[in-house]
Amino acid sequence: MQILENYSLRELNTFGFEAAARYFVEVHSAEEVLEALRFVQHHDLPLLLLGEGSNVILADDIAGLVLKLGNAGIEVVGDDEHSVTLRIGAGQNWHQLVCWCLAQGYYGLENLSLIPGSVGAAPVQNIGAYGVELKDVFHSLEAVDCQKHELVTLNRADCLFGYRESLFKGGGRGRYIICHVNLTLSTVPEANTQYGAIADELGRRGLEETPQSVSEVVCQLRRSKLPDPTEIGNAGSFFKNPVINNHHCEALKQQFPGLVAYPEAQGFSKLAAGWLIEQCGWKGVREAHVGVHEQQALVLVNYGAGTAEELLALAARIRTSVQERFGVILEMEPTIYPG
């Protein structure tokens, strides 16, 4: 295990912001994670865990140790007649996992095709797209508990998954370092086409409803709307879709008949934040080196030379205008470091 000093993180965050880590280490096992923990304790340093940096905003240099999990790899650890359980290293690239599973005939991840980032980061915000969330296929995970200094196993209930939420973003923030994730997938080739846009696109292209065709359509939809982070810096959706009570939603619908809203449980509705932002005139707006994506108003981008400061200032203006016009508060999705 080699601890590097004054390490540039520019390549390790998909916004491409320049920030340096006082110390940086890539680890490949729980034992190495524990060793890194001893290092930060000994030197009284903060610890920051980074996956592929696809959901973070590095707003400044990191005065502590940045730890990256480098353990990739997938093993089958259980199976029965209709399912298989996989144990996956936290450093495994997510989309490569999706492709591997499809090739093996393990189904359930197709709708989550092409999501950037690592497997270890997936539970943190309970990644979700096109009608599926990680929690739907999640079995358990193994993590180093930084309070107890030991490896623990957490099951689905322990992880407190919600929409773009989990224990790891909430009460357990900073406490766990996820080393392996276990998923249970189906061996029955059933496609999940409940999300309207997928069914529409399959129909339009005359494709059969198979896990493969769903993956293909999801990749195509994502490529058409979302900028490729290797070309234009971004972190996918910049804000969560806000959830408001139905009373507020009805009042908004009266005033704005085009409002895009989806029913949620227990008297709530989820609004399309992209629609709210577009209505405020932000879609495609560029300010200095940052801007709002032309195809998807929910995605903020760094055109190259932008800074986190510029981006956060733009985000603040967007939030204010949405709040003034619709009385809705947008919550940021990526995490800002240092926190």
Find the shortest distance in angstroms from Cβ 148 to ligand EPU: 31
Query: Given its phi and psi angles, is residue 241 left (phi above 0), alpha (psi -120 to 50 degrees) or beta?
Result: beta
Residue type, 180: H
Residue 280 tokens read as: 């405020």
Cα–Cα nearest to 304, from 216, 241, 234: 234
Specify whether 215 is catalytic.
no
Find the shortest distance in angstroms from Cβ 272 to ligand EPU: 3
CB 191 within 8 A of CB 209: yes
Residue type, 181: V
How big is the chain by its Cα radius of gyration, in Å? Answer: 20
- Name the strands in the sheet holding 299-302, side by side, starting at the edge strand that comes first in the sequence: 233-237, 299-302, 290-292, 286-287
Specify whether 75 is catalytic.
no
**Parallel, antiparallel, or unpaired: how do β-strands 47-50 and 62-69 relate?**
parallel
Q: Which is nearer to ligand EPU, 20 or 197 (CB)?
A: 197
| Catalytic annotation, pick one of 54, 118, 237, 269 | 237
Cα–Cα nearest to 216, from 113, 136, 131: 113
Cα–Cα nearest to 50, from 25, 63, 67, 26: 67
| Catalytic annotation, pick one of 164, 166, 216, 269 | 164
Find the shortest distance in angstroms from Cβ 270 to ligand EPU: 8
| Catalytic annotation, pick one of 52, 110, 201, 333 | 333
Q: Which is nearer to ligand EPU, 29 or 321 (CB)?
A: 321
Q: Which is nearer to ligand EPU, 124 or 146 (CB)?
A: 124
Which residues in this chain contact ligand EPU in the complex, by CB under 6 A?
A: 129-130, 197, 225-226, 236-237, 240-241, 260, 272, 274-275, 278, 283, 296-298, 333
Find the shortest distance in angstroms from Cβ 117 to ligand EPU: 9
Specify whether 333 is catalytic.
yes
Find the shortest distance in angstroms from Cβ 165 to ligand EPU: 11
Q: Which is nearer to ligand EPU, 192 or 307 (CB)?
A: 192
Q: Which is nearer to ligand EPU, 264 or 278 (CB)?
A: 278
Cα–Cα nearest to 145, from 115, 163, 172, 107: 172
Number of H helices, E strands in the chain: 7, 20
Residue nearest to ligand EPU (CB): 236
Catalytic residue numbers, as ranges: 164, 237, 333
